[in-house]
Amino acid sequence: MEIIGRVTRDANVKTTTGGKKVVEFNLAINEGYKPKNGGDYVDLTTFIRCSYWINEEAAKSFKKGAMMQLTGRIGLEVYINKAQEAAGAITFNVTRYKTLVFAKKQDSETVASEAPQYHPAFTPDAVHADDDLPF
């Protein structure tokens, strides 16, 4: 499964009792809709707890504000909260990730633009003079 969203806080690395390292972070997926009855536009945000077990160095990529494309397995964590009520959280075990938009530096200097980064041979405005395409 693939999901796309923004990291809500910088990732942290935790160590399990067995000594394995895991990168943990949260992702917010924003979407919305306009009701059929003509009401106001409704914004929806879904928060997902994510974990990445492959390489702890990946924590450097999961910075607050970064937009990420994640591939992995979705799950559900069900528990009883402090008020003794049933509660749940969506979880996502990440197997691959791609940074679509980098987070901003602390001093507000942008690391990368909002536009996706293309390989030079595949830039959208690359025009080849020897193309004889009819459109």
Determine the pLDDT at residue 110: 43
Tell whether the model's pLDDT for residue 6 goes beyond 90. yes
The fold of the 2-122 domain, in CATH, is OB fold (Dihydrolipoamide Acetyltransferase, E2P) (2.40.50)
Q: Is residue 107 very low, low, confident or very high in pLDDT (cuts 50, 70, 90)? A: low
Query: Could you tell me the residue ranges of all domains in the chain?
Result: 2-122
pLDDT for 14-55, tens place per residue?
999 999 999 999 999 999 988 888 888 999 999 999 999 999
Nearest of 85, 98, 17 to residue 52 by alpha carbon: 98
pLDDT for 51-101, tens place per residue?
999 999 999 999 999 999 999 999 999 999 999 999 999 999 999 999 999
Q: How far apart are CA 23 and CA 28, in angstroms?
A: 17
Higher pLDDT, 111 or 74: 74
Pairing of strands 86-101, 67-80: antiparallel
Determine the pLDDT at residue 37: 85
Q: How far apart are CA 125 and CA 85, in angstroms?
A: 55
Determine the pLDDT at residue 120: 40
Tell whether the model's pLDDT for residue 125 goes beyond 50. no
